[in-house]
Structure 1
């Protein structure tokens, strides 16, 4: 088995999470500038056995897609071109930022660290990945 990699895509920053090779535990990996995301993924996937990419799908409460969805779809085409052998699945990411923030509070993350948008993006990617694992 290979790892599953999850992406919480943002126009400025992107949070990344991965599973262990048995696909049991989701862990935050990092947050990267979106401009460097593709090169980061190429390097990571060259070193690690990744078998699936999960990308968050931002929706509003009324089930409409958020404004960033078109940007994400364009980026997914870049991912497919760069990694044609890897399937890409989407996961509804509604409330992931709120869940991530609450989990940081529950985990005892200090207030100063909770202000870090990079950490919030990484934890949000982890929540997306956990949601995928729970529902697969």
Structure 2
């Protein structure tokens, strides 16, 4: 089986998480500068088989798209062009950043490590991926 890769897209940094080959376990992979994201994904998919990209879908409480959705739409077009044979699914990402921060607290990370926004983005991507796996 191929892996599933989740993306928590941000204007500066993007968190990435991935499953194992059996699509059972979600693990944080890395955080990448957003302007290098397509290059990173091309390099990663050259080494690992990926069957699905999960992209976080930011929504407001009333289900309307959040302001950051306007940044994600152009990225989706680039992703579809770069990977025409890979399925893309959007996943509601409400509260993932808050849940990621709480996860960091619960795991005992010191305050200075919890300020690491790249780690928050990576954990957020992992939460997006985990919620998808639970729903399957």
Give the equivalent residue in structure 2 for 1:64: 64
Give the equivalent residue in structure 2 for 1:28: 28
Q: After superposition, give the CA deviation of every residue in 1:42-98 in whole Å (9 maximum; x if it has no partner).
A: 000110011100000000111110111122111111001000110000000000001
Q: How many residue pairs get matched?
A: 136
Per the normalisation by structure 2, the TM-score is 0.98
Give the equivalent residue in structure 1 for 2:109: 109
Mapped partners of 1:61, 1:132: distance in 2: 20
- What SS does structure 1 have at the residue aligned with 2:6? strand
Runs of 4+ in 1 over 3 A off after TM superposition: none
Counterparts of 1:1-136 in structure 2, within 5 Å, are 1-136=1-136
Q: After superposition, give the CA deviation of every residue in 1:1-43 in whole Å (9 maximum; x if it has no partner).
A: 1110000000110000000000000000000110000100000
Q: CA RMSD in A?
A: 0.7
Mapped partners of 1:74, 1:55: distance in 2: 13
Unaligned runs of 5+ in 2: none
Mapped partners of 1:32, 1:91: distance in 2: 20
1:111 to partner: Cα distance:
1.3
Mapped partners of 2:42, 2:111: distance in 1: 34
Per the normalisation by structure 1, the TM-score is 0.98
Mapped partners of 2:110, 2:25: distance in 1: 24
